Structure 1
């Protein structure tokens, strides 16, 4: 099990790159104008995409913090939640023809929470991530 651990802890630059890319994808996918309405049959899929994207974003952000020896998980949750809330506020304020939704924000928070569970497990199992992982 050494090799996967080595890959996981290899480079903070990798996770910063993934964090930047996922930030761009989230901003593009949530703030750029669209000329169509999501059909009702795909509404659940939209929430799943929110959950997965914010889960991935939070995981990358948390791994960057871990590799910089910052192990507390509560700040990771706060930043993820703030990012999700910021997206919804920007959808309301910007003339992008996007509509903010509470369910989108809840999906964002759920993805953030699931990523925190993964980060917590990693903090207990990967020696390079072990520290005072306090919430």
Structure 2
């Protein structure tokens, strides 16, 4: 019997938490440490909706993960930004990274999509 996706996620989270206690994980996007008390999540390099369920993930600060998803569509992430280096080279995300690097490792703030970007997405969809 195959374990459920929920059990797999829980096992991965427990393993990552134990590893974080031994040595701090470094966010590959902003290159700041991710302390155990910081909000963080796993980012699928290729979105699951675009076939990336088993194509790799990276642990990011939640604010970094949210910054990616408010700026880019699933299609953009799958076609041109399926790699951390490509994400870091994007000019808009580079400005965010420069800003967030000045914050403490456990810093978190809500990330909202701008009205302009929201309207632009509605027109595309």
TM range (shorter): under 0.3
TM-score, scaled relative to structure 1: 0.24
| Richer in helix (by share) | 1
Query: Larger RCO: Structure 1 or Structure 2 (Cα < 8 Å, ≥ 6 residues apart)?
Result: 1
| Richer in strand (by share) | 2
- Structure number with larger C-alpha Rg: 1
TM-score, scaled relative to structure 2: 0.25
